[in-house]
Structure 1
Protein backbone atom coordinates (compact mmCIF):
# COMPACT_ATOMS: atom_id res chain seq x y z
CA UNK A 1 0.00 0.00 0.00
CA UNK A 2 1.03 3.60 -0.63
CA UNK A 3 -1.30 6.20 0.88
CA UNK A 4 -3.88 3.36 0.92
CA UNK A 5 -3.65 3.05 -2.88
CA UNK A 6 -2.78 -0.63 -3.48
CA UNK A 7 -0.32 -1.82 -6.06
CA UNK A 8 -2.09 -3.40 -9.04
CA UNK A 9 -0.21 -5.70 -11.38
CA UNK A 10 -2.05 -6.49 -14.62
CA UNK A 11 -0.38 -9.87 -15.15
CA UNK A 12 -1.32 -10.98 -11.64
CA UNK A 13 -4.84 -9.60 -11.92
CA UNK A 14 -5.88 -10.38 -15.50
CA UNK A 15 -7.07 -14.00 -15.17
CA UNK A 16 -9.19 -13.17 -12.15
CA UNK A 17 -10.63 -10.11 -13.89
CA UNK A 18 -11.49 -12.19 -16.96
CA UNK A 19 -13.56 -14.54 -14.79
CA UNK A 20 -15.12 -11.96 -12.48
CA UNK A 21 -16.11 -9.80 -15.44
CA UNK A 22 -18.24 -12.67 -16.72
CA UNK A 23 -19.75 -13.18 -13.25
CA UNK A 24 -20.65 -9.49 -13.14
CA UNK A 25 -22.20 -9.76 -16.60
CA UNK A 26 -24.56 -12.46 -15.31
CA UNK A 27 -25.58 -10.36 -12.31
CA UNK A 28 -25.78 -7.20 -14.40
CA UNK A 29 -28.08 -8.88 -16.90
CA UNK A 30 -30.42 -9.81 -14.04
CA UNK A 31 -30.61 -6.12 -13.17
CA UNK A 32 -31.07 -5.26 -16.86
CA UNK A 33 -34.12 -7.54 -17.14
CA UNK A 34 -35.79 -6.42 -13.93
CA UNK A 35 -35.28 -2.63 -14.00
CA UNK A 36 -37.04 -0.07 -16.23
CA UNK A 37 -34.84 1.24 -19.03
CA UNK A 38 -32.93 4.35 -18.03
CA UNK A 39 -31.31 6.65 -20.56
CA UNK A 40 -27.86 5.58 -21.76
CA UNK A 41 -28.32 2.08 -20.24
CA UNK A 42 -27.87 3.39 -16.70
CA UNK A 43 -30.27 0.70 -15.45
CA UNK A 44 -27.73 -2.08 -16.11
CA UNK A 45 -24.82 -0.86 -14.01
CA UNK A 46 -23.39 -2.00 -10.71
CA UNK A 47 -22.07 0.26 -7.95
CA UNK A 48 -19.04 0.22 -5.70
CA UNK A 49 -19.93 -0.75 -2.13
CA UNK A 50 -17.86 -0.94 1.06
CA UNK A 51 -17.44 -4.68 0.49
CA UNK A 52 -17.45 -5.02 -3.30
CA UNK A 53 -20.01 -4.35 -6.02
CA UNK A 54 -23.78 -4.17 -5.69
CA UNK A 55 -26.90 -3.99 -7.84
CA UNK A 56 -28.58 -1.84 -5.17
CA UNK A 57 -32.31 -2.32 -4.69
CA UNK A 58 -34.22 -4.07 -7.51
CA UNK A 59 -38.06 -3.90 -7.35
CA UNK A 60 -39.62 -7.30 -8.01
CA UNK A 61 -43.42 -7.57 -7.79
CA UNK A 62 -44.48 -6.80 -4.23
CA UNK A 63 -40.91 -7.38 -3.01
CA UNK A 64 -37.43 -6.20 -3.82
CA UNK A 65 -34.05 -7.86 -3.84
CA UNK A 66 -30.38 -6.99 -4.15
CA UNK A 67 -27.30 -8.92 -5.27
CA UNK A 68 -23.93 -8.09 -3.72
CA UNK A 69 -20.42 -9.18 -4.61
CA UNK A 70 -18.51 -9.30 -1.33
CA UNK A 71 -14.79 -9.22 -2.06
CA UNK A 72 -13.93 -9.26 1.66
CA UNK A 73 -15.73 -12.47 2.67
CA UNK A 74 -15.58 -13.65 -0.98
CA UNK A 75 -19.21 -14.48 -1.35
CA UNK A 76 -22.15 -13.42 -3.48
CA UNK A 77 -25.23 -12.49 -1.45
CA UNK A 78 -28.85 -12.31 -2.60
CA UNK A 79 -31.03 -10.52 -0.07
CA UNK A 80 -34.80 -9.97 -0.24
CA UNK A 81 -37.10 -7.45 1.41
CA UNK A 82 -39.29 -10.37 2.52
CA UNK A 83 -36.47 -11.56 4.78
CA UNK A 84 -35.02 -14.39 2.71
CA UNK A 85 -31.40 -14.56 1.63
CA UNK A 86 -29.00 -16.90 -0.13
CA UNK A 87 -25.24 -16.87 -0.63
CA UNK A 88 -22.70 -18.63 -2.80
CA UNK A 89 -18.94 -18.75 -2.45
CA UNK A 90 -16.47 -16.98 -4.72
CA UNK A 91 -13.46 -19.16 -5.44
CA UNK A 92 -11.64 -20.50 -8.53
CA UNK A 93 -14.77 -21.86 -10.22
CA UNK A 94 -16.00 -21.88 -13.78
CA UNK A 95 -18.45 -19.35 -15.16
CA UNK A 96 -20.78 -22.28 -15.86
CA UNK A 97 -20.68 -23.33 -12.18
CA UNK A 98 -21.32 -19.77 -10.97
CA UNK A 99 -24.20 -19.31 -13.43
CA UNK A 100 -25.88 -22.60 -12.45
CA UNK A 101 -25.66 -22.05 -8.69
CA UNK A 102 -26.75 -18.42 -8.84
CA UNK A 103 -29.98 -19.27 -10.62
CA UNK A 104 -30.57 -22.20 -8.27
CA UNK A 105 -30.23 -19.85 -5.29
CA UNK A 106 -32.57 -17.32 -6.90
CA UNK A 107 -35.16 -20.03 -7.49
CA UNK A 108 -35.05 -20.86 -3.76
CA UNK A 109 -36.10 -17.25 -3.16
CA UNK A 110 -38.81 -17.52 -5.84
CA UNK A 111 -37.06 -15.02 -8.09
CA UNK A 112 -37.50 -15.98 -11.73
CA UNK A 113 -35.52 -13.94 -14.28
CA UNK A 114 -34.62 -15.00 -17.82
CA UNK A 115 -31.52 -13.31 -19.22
CA UNK A 116 -29.67 -13.28 -22.53
CA UNK A 117 -27.15 -15.87 -21.38
CA UNK A 118 -24.13 -14.83 -23.44
CA UNK A 119 -21.58 -12.06 -22.79
CA UNK A 120 -21.74 -8.65 -24.39
CA UNK A 121 -18.79 -6.51 -25.53
CA UNK A 122 -16.54 -9.60 -25.53
CA UNK A 123 -15.32 -11.81 -28.34
CA UNK A 124 -15.59 -14.78 -28.28
CA UNK A 125 -18.90 -14.78 -26.42
CA UNK A 126 -19.09 -18.24 -24.83
CA UNK A 127 -22.57 -18.96 -23.42
CA UNK A 128 -22.42 -18.74 -19.63
CA UNK A 129 -23.78 -22.25 -19.13
CA UNK A 130 -21.00 -23.67 -21.34
CA UNK A 131 -18.04 -21.58 -20.16
CA UNK A 132 -15.58 -23.87 -18.40
CA UNK A 133 -12.62 -21.86 -19.73
CA UNK A 134 -12.73 -18.94 -17.30
CA UNK A 135 -12.25 -20.21 -13.75
CA UNK A 136 -9.67 -18.02 -11.98
CA UNK A 137 -10.23 -16.24 -8.68
CA UNK A 138 -7.34 -14.86 -6.64
CA UNK A 139 -8.77 -13.52 -3.38
CA UNK A 140 -5.82 -11.24 -2.66
CA UNK A 141 -5.95 -9.69 -6.14
CA UNK A 142 -9.68 -8.99 -5.83
CA UNK A 143 -9.16 -7.42 -2.41
CA UNK A 144 -6.53 -5.10 -3.90
CA UNK A 145 -8.73 -4.29 -6.89
CA UNK A 146 -11.68 -3.53 -4.61
CA UNK A 147 -9.56 -1.20 -2.46
CA UNK A 148 -8.52 0.64 -5.62
CA UNK A 149 -12.19 0.93 -6.67
CA UNK A 150 -13.08 2.42 -3.28
CA UNK A 151 -10.41 5.09 -3.64
CA UNK A 152 -11.32 5.87 -7.23
CA UNK A 153 -15.05 5.97 -6.50
CA UNK A 154 -14.41 8.64 -3.87
CA UNK A 155 -12.47 10.88 -6.27
CA UNK A 156 -14.97 10.35 -9.10
CA UNK A 157 -17.81 11.27 -6.73
CA UNK A 158 -16.03 14.49 -5.74
CA UNK A 159 -15.45 15.29 -9.42
CA UNK A 160 -19.12 14.69 -10.23
CA UNK A 161 -20.12 17.22 -7.58
CA UNK A 162 -18.63 20.08 -9.61
CA UNK A 163 -21.23 19.84 -12.37
CA UNK A 164 -24.82 21.10 -12.30
CA UNK A 165 -25.69 19.86 -15.79
CA UNK A 166 -26.82 16.35 -16.55
CA UNK A 167 -24.31 13.86 -15.18
CA UNK A 168 -24.33 10.10 -14.75
CA UNK A 169 -23.91 8.38 -11.41
CA UNK A 170 -20.47 6.98 -10.68
CA UNK A 171 -21.20 3.45 -11.81
CA UNK A 172 -19.59 0.21 -12.89
CA UNK A 173 -20.23 -1.10 -16.40
CA UNK A 174 -19.89 -4.88 -16.55
CA UNK A 175 -19.64 -4.88 -20.35
CA UNK A 176 -16.13 -3.44 -20.33
CA UNK A 177 -15.49 -3.91 -16.58
CA UNK A 178 -14.87 -0.22 -15.95
CA UNK A 179 -15.91 2.39 -13.41
CA UNK A 180 -17.10 5.55 -15.14
CA UNK A 181 -18.67 8.98 -14.71
CA UNK A 182 -20.06 11.00 -17.63
CA UNK A 183 -20.96 14.66 -18.05
CA UNK A 184 -23.36 15.93 -20.74
CA UNK A 185 -23.42 19.22 -22.64
CA UNK A 186 -27.21 19.09 -23.04
CA UNK A 187 -27.03 18.96 -26.84
CA UNK A 188 -27.84 16.02 -29.12
CA UNK A 189 -24.92 14.23 -30.76
CA UNK A 190 -24.47 12.83 -34.28
CA UNK A 191 -25.62 9.23 -34.72
CA UNK A 192 -23.01 6.93 -33.19
CA UNK A 193 -21.60 4.33 -35.62
CA UNK A 194 -21.79 1.48 -33.09
CA UNK A 195 -19.42 -1.39 -33.71
CA UNK A 196 -18.77 -2.76 -30.20
CA UNK A 197 -18.38 -6.57 -30.23
CA UNK A 198 -21.59 -8.46 -29.45
CA UNK A 199 -23.47 -5.24 -28.73
CA UNK A 200 -26.49 -4.05 -30.75
CA UNK A 201 -25.76 -0.79 -32.58
CA UNK A 202 -29.02 0.76 -31.41
CA UNK A 203 -27.96 0.30 -27.77
CA UNK A 204 -24.68 2.11 -28.48
CA UNK A 205 -26.54 4.83 -30.38
CA UNK A 206 -28.91 5.46 -27.48
CA UNK A 207 -25.97 5.51 -25.07
CA UNK A 208 -24.30 8.25 -27.14
CA UNK A 209 -27.43 10.12 -28.20
CA UNK A 210 -26.14 13.32 -26.60
CA UNK A 211 -22.72 15.00 -26.36
CA UNK A 212 -20.60 13.60 -23.55
CA UNK A 213 -17.34 14.00 -21.73
CA UNK A 214 -16.60 10.72 -19.98
CA UNK A 215 -13.85 9.45 -17.70
CA UNK A 216 -13.24 6.10 -16.11
CA UNK A 217 -10.95 3.42 -14.74
CA UNK A 218 -10.20 0.14 -16.49
CA UNK A 219 -7.97 -2.80 -15.43
CA UNK A 220 -6.08 -3.01 -18.76
CA UNK A 221 -5.74 -5.58 -21.53
CA UNK A 222 -3.08 -7.74 -23.14
CA UNK A 223 -2.60 -4.96 -25.70
CA UNK A 224 -2.19 -2.36 -22.93
CA UNK A 225 -1.15 -4.31 -19.81
CA UNK A 226 -1.63 -1.52 -17.29
CA UNK A 227 -4.60 -0.56 -15.12
CA UNK A 228 -5.38 2.96 -16.26
CA UNK A 229 -7.68 5.95 -16.21
CA UNK A 230 -9.17 7.16 -19.48
CA UNK A 231 -11.05 10.23 -20.71
CA UNK A 232 -12.82 10.80 -24.02
CA UNK A 233 -15.61 12.84 -25.53
CA UNK A 234 -18.24 12.18 -28.16
CA UNK A 235 -18.27 13.63 -30.71
CA UNK A 236 -14.51 14.18 -30.69
CA UNK A 237 -13.37 17.60 -31.93
CA UNK A 238 -10.18 17.51 -34.00
CA UNK A 239 -8.40 19.71 -31.46
CA UNK A 240 -9.36 17.57 -28.42
CA UNK A 241 -6.20 15.43 -28.38
CA UNK A 242 -3.96 18.47 -28.73
CA UNK A 243 -5.14 20.12 -25.52
CA UNK A 244 -2.82 20.37 -22.48
CA UNK A 245 -3.88 18.04 -19.70
CA UNK A 246 -2.57 17.12 -16.26
CA UNK A 247 -0.58 15.48 -14.79
CA UNK A 248 2.55 15.36 -16.96
CA UNK A 249 2.32 11.55 -17.21
CA UNK A 250 -1.05 11.69 -19.02
CA UNK A 251 -0.98 11.07 -22.76
CA UNK A 252 -3.28 10.95 -25.77
CA UNK A 253 -3.76 7.85 -27.93
CA UNK A 254 -4.51 8.73 -31.54
CA UNK A 255 -5.60 5.15 -32.18
CA UNK A 256 -8.12 5.13 -29.33
CA UNK A 257 -9.04 8.82 -29.47
CA UNK A 258 -8.71 9.08 -25.70
CA UNK A 259 -6.45 10.44 -22.99
CA UNK A 260 -4.88 7.89 -20.63
CA UNK A 261 -3.14 8.00 -17.27
CA UNK A 262 -1.66 4.86 -15.76
CA UNK A 263 -2.98 3.89 -12.35
CA UNK A 264 0.59 3.39 -11.15
CA UNK A 265 1.40 7.05 -11.90
CA UNK A 266 -1.50 8.09 -9.69
CA UNK A 267 -0.52 5.66 -6.95
CA UNK A 268 3.09 6.88 -6.93
CA UNK A 269 2.15 10.57 -6.81
CA UNK A 270 2.71 12.56 -3.62
CA UNK A 271 -1.05 13.24 -3.56
CA UNK A 272 -2.86 10.49 -5.53
CA UNK A 273 -6.33 11.97 -5.07
CA UNK A 274 -5.34 15.42 -6.32
CA UNK A 275 -3.34 13.91 -9.17
CA UNK A 276 -6.37 11.94 -10.36
CA UNK A 277 -8.63 14.98 -9.91
CA UNK A 278 -6.30 17.06 -12.08
CA UNK A 279 -6.64 14.44 -14.85
CA UNK A 280 -10.44 14.43 -14.58
CA UNK A 281 -10.73 18.21 -14.54
CA UNK A 282 -8.22 18.95 -17.29
CA UNK A 283 -9.58 16.34 -19.71
CA UNK A 284 -13.11 17.62 -19.12
CA UNK A 285 -11.92 21.18 -19.84
CA UNK A 286 -10.30 19.89 -23.04
CA UNK A 287 -13.62 18.37 -24.13
CA UNK A 288 -15.76 21.33 -23.06
CA UNK A 289 -13.55 23.99 -24.60
CA UNK A 290 -13.03 22.26 -27.94
CA UNK A 291 -16.69 21.22 -28.05
CA UNK A 292 -18.05 24.68 -27.29
CA UNK A 293 -19.91 23.69 -24.12
CA UNK A 294 -21.65 26.42 -22.09
CA UNK A 295 -19.42 25.96 -19.07
CA UNK A 296 -20.90 28.86 -17.09
CA UNK A 297 -24.31 27.21 -17.20
CA UNK A 298 -23.07 23.67 -16.54
CA UNK A 299 -20.45 23.95 -13.80
CA UNK A 300 -20.89 24.65 -10.09
CA UNK A 301 -18.70 25.19 -7.05
CA UNK A 302 -19.82 24.07 -3.61
CA UNK A 303 -16.41 24.49 -1.98
CA UNK A 304 -17.98 27.10 0.35
CA UNK A 305 -20.05 24.30 1.90
CA UNK A 306 -16.90 22.53 3.07
CA UNK A 307 -15.65 25.54 5.05
Structure 2
Protein backbone atom coordinates (compact mmCIF):
# COMPACT_ATOMS: atom_id res chain seq x y z
CA UNK A 1 0.00 0.00 0.00
CA UNK A 2 1.36 3.47 -0.87
CA UNK A 3 2.14 5.59 2.19
CA UNK A 4 -0.50 8.34 2.59
CA UNK A 5 0.87 11.87 2.47
CA UNK A 6 0.32 13.60 5.84
CA UNK A 7 -1.92 16.64 6.19
CA UNK A 8 -0.85 19.95 7.73
CA UNK A 9 -2.86 22.68 9.42
CA UNK A 10 -1.31 26.11 9.82
CA UNK A 11 -2.94 27.00 13.14
CA UNK A 12 -2.05 23.65 14.67
CA UNK A 13 1.40 23.13 13.20
CA UNK A 14 2.98 26.57 12.91
CA UNK A 15 4.33 26.84 16.51
CA UNK A 16 6.20 23.55 16.19
CA UNK A 17 7.48 24.30 12.68
CA UNK A 18 8.70 27.69 13.91
CA UNK A 19 10.65 26.04 16.73
CA UNK A 20 12.09 23.43 14.36
CA UNK A 21 13.13 26.21 11.97
CA UNK A 22 15.12 27.93 14.72
CA UNK A 23 16.59 24.64 15.96
CA UNK A 24 17.73 23.80 12.43
CA UNK A 25 19.47 27.18 12.25
CA UNK A 26 21.51 26.39 15.35
CA UNK A 27 22.73 23.17 13.74
CA UNK A 28 23.51 24.81 10.42
CA UNK A 29 25.36 27.66 12.09
CA UNK A 30 27.67 25.14 13.71
CA UNK A 31 28.78 24.12 10.21
CA UNK A 32 29.22 27.77 9.25
CA UNK A 33 31.53 28.26 12.23
CA UNK A 34 33.43 24.98 12.06
CA UNK A 35 33.72 23.83 8.45
CA UNK A 36 35.31 25.05 5.22
CA UNK A 37 33.03 27.18 3.07
CA UNK A 38 32.24 25.58 -0.29
CA UNK A 39 30.49 26.90 -3.37
CA UNK A 40 26.95 28.16 -2.81
CA UNK A 41 27.15 27.34 0.90
CA UNK A 42 26.55 23.65 0.26
CA UNK A 43 28.78 22.76 3.21
CA UNK A 44 26.33 24.22 5.74
CA UNK A 45 23.06 22.62 4.65
CA UNK A 46 21.21 19.86 6.45
CA UNK A 47 20.53 16.53 4.75
CA UNK A 48 17.59 14.12 5.02
CA UNK A 49 18.44 11.03 7.06
CA UNK A 50 16.25 8.24 8.37
CA UNK A 51 15.59 10.08 11.66
CA UNK A 52 15.10 13.58 10.26
CA UNK A 53 17.71 16.15 9.19
CA UNK A 54 21.43 16.12 9.95
CA UNK A 55 24.48 18.27 9.35
CA UNK A 56 27.58 16.76 7.80
CA UNK A 57 30.27 15.82 10.35
CA UNK A 58 32.37 18.50 11.98
CA UNK A 59 36.01 17.48 12.50
CA UNK A 60 38.16 19.44 14.95
CA UNK A 61 41.67 18.21 15.87
CA UNK A 62 40.79 14.74 14.69
CA UNK A 63 37.55 14.62 16.69
CA UNK A 64 34.43 14.12 14.57
CA UNK A 65 30.80 14.58 15.52
CA UNK A 66 27.49 15.37 13.91
CA UNK A 67 24.16 16.79 15.04
CA UNK A 68 20.76 15.53 13.93
CA UNK A 69 17.40 17.23 14.18
CA UNK A 70 15.75 13.95 15.13
CA UNK A 71 12.04 14.14 14.31
CA UNK A 72 11.43 10.66 15.70
CA UNK A 73 13.05 11.14 19.12
CA UNK A 74 12.00 14.83 19.17
CA UNK A 75 15.50 15.85 20.07
CA UNK A 76 18.80 17.19 18.84
CA UNK A 77 21.05 14.13 18.83
CA UNK A 78 24.82 14.41 19.09
CA UNK A 79 26.74 11.46 17.61
CA UNK A 80 30.53 11.24 17.92
CA UNK A 81 33.02 9.14 15.99
CA UNK A 82 34.06 7.31 19.18
CA UNK A 83 30.53 6.05 19.72
CA UNK A 84 29.47 8.70 22.21
CA UNK A 85 25.87 9.88 21.90
CA UNK A 86 23.81 12.47 23.71
CA UNK A 87 20.24 13.61 23.33
CA UNK A 88 18.79 17.08 23.91
CA UNK A 89 14.97 17.23 23.95
CA UNK A 90 13.45 19.87 21.69
CA UNK A 91 10.57 20.62 24.03
CA UNK A 92 12.39 22.75 26.61
CA UNK A 93 9.84 25.55 26.70
CA UNK A 94 11.80 28.27 24.87
CA UNK A 95 14.37 28.84 22.16
CA UNK A 96 16.73 30.34 24.75
CA UNK A 97 16.62 27.15 26.81
CA UNK A 98 17.29 25.02 23.74
CA UNK A 99 20.21 27.26 22.76
CA UNK A 100 21.70 27.24 26.26
CA UNK A 101 21.42 23.47 26.63
CA UNK A 102 22.82 22.76 23.16
CA UNK A 103 25.96 24.72 24.06
CA UNK A 104 26.18 22.90 27.39
CA UNK A 105 25.85 19.50 25.69
CA UNK A 106 28.64 20.28 23.23
CA UNK A 107 30.86 21.66 25.99
CA UNK A 108 30.29 18.57 28.13
CA UNK A 109 31.71 16.39 25.36
CA UNK A 110 34.63 18.67 24.61
CA UNK A 111 33.34 19.76 21.22
CA UNK A 112 33.30 23.35 19.92
CA UNK A 113 30.09 25.14 20.80
CA UNK A 114 30.49 28.61 19.32
CA UNK A 115 28.23 29.81 16.51
CA UNK A 116 26.49 33.00 15.45
CA UNK A 117 23.56 33.59 17.77
CA UNK A 118 21.25 35.62 15.49
CA UNK A 119 18.80 33.77 13.20
CA UNK A 120 19.11 34.39 9.47
CA UNK A 121 16.46 35.14 6.83
CA UNK A 122 13.83 36.07 9.42
CA UNK A 123 12.47 39.61 9.69
CA UNK A 124 12.99 41.10 13.16
CA UNK A 125 14.85 38.04 14.40
CA UNK A 126 15.52 37.75 18.14
CA UNK A 127 18.89 36.30 19.19
CA UNK A 128 18.54 32.69 20.31
CA UNK A 129 19.83 33.47 23.80
CA UNK A 130 17.22 36.21 24.27
CA UNK A 131 14.24 34.32 22.83
CA UNK A 132 12.59 33.39 26.13
CA UNK A 133 8.99 33.43 24.83
CA UNK A 134 7.08 30.23 25.70
CA UNK A 135 7.16 27.73 22.82
CA UNK A 136 4.72 24.90 22.21
CA UNK A 137 6.00 21.68 20.66
CA UNK A 138 3.69 19.05 19.17
CA UNK A 139 5.40 15.72 18.49
CA UNK A 140 2.75 14.79 15.93
CA UNK A 141 3.60 17.88 13.85
CA UNK A 142 7.27 16.91 13.77
CA UNK A 143 6.33 13.35 12.84
CA UNK A 144 4.15 14.54 9.96
CA UNK A 145 6.97 16.77 8.70
CA UNK A 146 9.29 13.77 8.90
CA UNK A 147 6.81 11.61 6.96
CA UNK A 148 6.40 14.29 4.29
CA UNK A 149 10.17 14.69 3.86
CA UNK A 150 10.61 10.93 3.52
CA UNK A 151 8.04 10.91 0.69
CA UNK A 152 9.30 14.03 -1.08
CA UNK A 153 13.05 13.38 -0.95
CA UNK A 154 12.99 10.30 -3.24
CA UNK A 155 11.04 12.25 -5.88
CA UNK A 156 13.58 15.06 -5.72
CA UNK A 157 16.39 12.49 -6.02
CA UNK A 158 14.83 10.96 -9.14
CA UNK A 159 14.46 14.45 -10.61
CA UNK A 160 18.10 15.22 -9.78
CA UNK A 161 19.17 11.95 -11.45
CA UNK A 162 17.90 13.23 -14.80
CA UNK A 163 20.57 15.92 -15.00
CA UNK A 164 24.18 15.40 -16.08
CA UNK A 165 25.23 19.02 -15.59
CA UNK A 166 26.15 20.70 -12.33
CA UNK A 167 23.40 20.04 -9.80
CA UNK A 168 23.14 20.52 -6.06
CA UNK A 169 22.49 17.67 -3.67
CA UNK A 170 18.95 17.30 -2.41
CA UNK A 171 19.49 19.26 0.79
CA UNK A 172 17.73 21.36 3.40
CA UNK A 173 18.39 25.07 3.74
CA UNK A 174 17.94 26.07 7.37
CA UNK A 175 17.84 29.79 6.62
CA UNK A 176 14.58 29.53 4.72
CA UNK A 177 13.61 26.07 6.11
CA UNK A 178 13.11 24.27 2.81
CA UNK A 179 14.20 21.10 1.03
CA UNK A 180 15.70 22.06 -2.33
CA UNK A 181 17.45 20.83 -5.46
CA UNK A 182 19.08 23.20 -7.96
CA UNK A 183 20.18 22.69 -11.57
CA UNK A 184 22.79 24.92 -13.23
CA UNK A 185 23.16 25.84 -16.91
CA UNK A 186 26.89 26.50 -16.56
CA UNK A 187 26.52 30.14 -17.57
CA UNK A 188 27.41 33.07 -15.33
CA UNK A 189 24.47 35.08 -13.96
CA UNK A 190 24.16 38.82 -13.33
CA UNK A 191 24.89 39.89 -9.76
CA UNK A 192 21.95 39.08 -7.52
CA UNK A 193 20.39 42.20 -5.95
CA UNK A 194 20.57 40.68 -2.46
CA UNK A 195 18.41 42.21 0.23
CA UNK A 196 17.45 38.94 1.98
CA UNK A 197 16.70 39.72 5.65
CA UNK A 198 19.52 38.74 7.96
CA UNK A 199 21.74 37.45 5.15
CA UNK A 200 24.85 39.29 3.95
CA UNK A 201 24.61 40.19 0.26
CA UNK A 202 27.99 38.54 -0.37
CA UNK A 203 26.38 35.18 0.44
CA UNK A 204 23.50 35.75 -1.96
CA UNK A 205 25.86 36.97 -4.69
CA UNK A 206 27.89 33.78 -4.47
CA UNK A 207 24.84 31.53 -4.19
CA UNK A 208 23.45 32.92 -7.45
CA UNK A 209 26.73 33.37 -9.31
CA UNK A 210 25.48 31.15 -12.15
CA UNK A 211 22.15 30.58 -13.92
CA UNK A 212 19.87 28.24 -12.00
CA UNK A 213 16.56 26.48 -12.07
CA UNK A 214 15.74 25.65 -8.47
CA UNK A 215 12.83 23.76 -6.93
CA UNK A 216 11.90 22.82 -3.41
CA UNK A 217 9.41 22.11 -0.65
CA UNK A 218 8.65 24.72 2.01
CA UNK A 219 6.50 23.51 4.92
CA UNK A 220 6.25 26.90 6.61
CA UNK A 221 8.48 27.76 9.54
CA UNK A 222 8.97 31.15 11.11
CA UNK A 223 6.17 32.35 8.82
CA UNK A 224 2.71 30.86 9.30
CA UNK A 225 1.62 29.72 5.82
CA UNK A 226 0.31 26.72 3.93
CA UNK A 227 3.09 24.37 2.79
CA UNK A 228 4.04 24.62 -0.88
CA UNK A 229 6.30 23.29 -3.56
CA UNK A 230 8.08 26.02 -5.51
CA UNK A 231 10.22 26.47 -8.60
CA UNK A 232 12.04 29.55 -9.87
CA UNK A 233 14.73 30.61 -12.30
CA UNK A 234 17.56 33.06 -11.74
CA UNK A 235 17.85 35.16 -13.75
CA UNK A 236 14.19 34.93 -14.71
CA UNK A 237 13.96 34.61 -18.53
CA UNK A 238 11.43 36.58 -20.55
CA UNK A 239 8.09 34.81 -20.76
CA UNK A 240 8.75 32.57 -17.76
CA UNK A 241 5.73 33.74 -15.77
CA UNK A 242 3.31 33.05 -18.62
CA UNK A 243 4.66 29.59 -19.45
CA UNK A 244 2.09 26.78 -18.95
CA UNK A 245 3.24 24.24 -16.35
CA UNK A 246 1.80 21.10 -14.78
CA UNK A 247 -0.24 20.04 -12.89
CA UNK A 248 -3.32 22.24 -13.18
CA UNK A 249 -3.04 23.45 -9.57
CA UNK A 250 0.36 25.04 -10.22
CA UNK A 251 0.52 28.80 -10.80
CA UNK A 252 2.99 31.66 -10.84
CA UNK A 253 2.99 33.73 -7.66
CA UNK A 254 3.98 37.26 -8.58
CA UNK A 255 4.76 38.26 -5.00
CA UNK A 256 7.12 35.33 -4.47
CA UNK A 257 8.46 35.48 -8.03
CA UNK A 258 8.17 31.73 -8.54
CA UNK A 259 5.83 28.95 -9.58
CA UNK A 260 4.05 27.39 -6.63
CA UNK A 261 2.09 24.19 -6.18
CA UNK A 262 0.12 23.74 -2.96
CA UNK A 263 1.31 20.76 -0.96
CA UNK A 264 -2.33 19.76 -0.51
CA UNK A 265 -2.78 19.53 -4.29
CA UNK A 266 -0.03 16.91 -4.35
CA UNK A 267 -1.17 15.17 -1.18
CA UNK A 268 -4.71 14.69 -2.52
CA UNK A 269 -3.71 13.80 -6.09
CA UNK A 270 -4.46 10.30 -7.34
CA UNK A 271 -0.73 9.82 -7.91
CA UNK A 272 1.11 12.33 -5.68
CA UNK A 273 4.63 11.41 -6.85
CA UNK A 274 3.63 11.80 -10.51
CA UNK A 275 1.98 15.17 -9.82
CA UNK A 276 5.10 16.43 -8.05
CA UNK A 277 7.41 15.16 -10.80
CA UNK A 278 5.26 16.87 -13.43
CA UNK A 279 5.71 20.15 -11.55
CA UNK A 280 9.47 19.72 -11.26
CA UNK A 281 9.94 18.76 -14.90
CA UNK A 282 7.61 21.32 -16.45
CA UNK A 283 8.93 24.29 -14.46
CA UNK A 284 12.51 23.29 -15.19
CA UNK A 285 11.67 22.98 -18.90
CA UNK A 286 10.15 26.47 -18.84
CA UNK A 287 13.33 27.92 -17.36
CA UNK A 288 15.75 25.95 -19.52
CA UNK A 289 13.93 26.48 -22.82
CA UNK A 290 13.33 30.19 -22.37
CA UNK A 291 16.90 30.83 -21.20
CA UNK A 292 18.41 28.77 -24.04
CA UNK A 293 20.11 26.10 -21.94
CA UNK A 294 21.92 23.37 -23.88
CA UNK A 295 19.49 20.74 -22.71
CA UNK A 296 20.77 17.75 -24.78
CA UNK A 297 24.21 18.03 -23.20
CA UNK A 298 22.88 18.72 -19.68
CA UNK A 299 20.23 16.02 -19.34
CA UNK A 300 20.42 12.27 -19.04
CA UNK A 301 18.22 9.24 -18.55
CA UNK A 302 17.63 8.92 -14.79
CA UNK A 303 18.58 5.24 -14.58
CA UNK A 304 21.43 3.40 -12.90
CA UNK A 305 24.41 2.78 -15.22
Q: TM-score range by the shorter chain?
A: over 0.9
> Aligned equivalents of 2:227 and 2:10: distance in 1?
6
Structure-to-structure mapping, 1:44-193, within 5 angstroms:
44-91=44-91, 93-133=93-133, 135-193=135-193
> Aligned equivalents of 2:154 and 2:134: distance in 1?
31
- The RMSD of aligned alpha carbons is 1.7
Worse-matched range after superposition: 45-54 or 188-197: 45-54
Alignment deviations for residues 179-218 of structure 1 (CA, whole Å, 9 cap, x no partner)? 1000000010000000000110111000000000000011
Alignment deviations for residues 220-241 of structure 1 (CA, whole Å, 9 cap, x no partner)? 4798831100000000012111
> Aligned equivalents of 1:72 and 1:25: distance in 2?
19
What is the CA-CA distance between 1:57 and the residue it aligns to?
2.1
What is the CA-CA distance between 1:75 and the residue it aligns to?
1.9
Worse-matched range after superposition: 90-99 or 228-237: 90-99
TM-score normalized with structure 2 length: 0.96
* Residue of structure 1 equivalent to 2:227: 227
- Count of residue pairs the alignment pairs up: 305
What is the CA-CA distance between 1:110 and the residue it aligns to?
0.5
> Aligned equivalents of 1:2 and 1:134: distance in 2?
38
Equivalent residues of 1:168, 1:182 under 8 A apart: yes
Worse-matched range after superposition: 86-95 or 259-268: 86-95
Equivalent residues of 2:10, 2:224 under 8 A apart: no
> Aligned equivalents of 1:54 and 1:247: distance in 2?
32
Change (3 A) 1:157 1:34: same
List runs of 5+ in structure 1 lacking aligned partners. none
> Aligned equivalents of 1:62 and 1:223: distance in 2?
39
List runs of 5+ in structure 2 lacking aligned partners. none
Equivalent residues of 1:18, 1:134 under 8 A apart: no
What is the CA-CA distance between 1:12 and the residue it aligns to?
1.4
* Residue of structure 1 equivalent to 2:299: 299
Q: Secondary structure at the match of 1:215?
A: strand
Segments of 4+ moved more than 3 angstroms: 220-224
What is the CA-CA distance between 1:261 and the residue it aligns to?
0.2
Q: Secondary structure at the match of 1:93?
A: coil
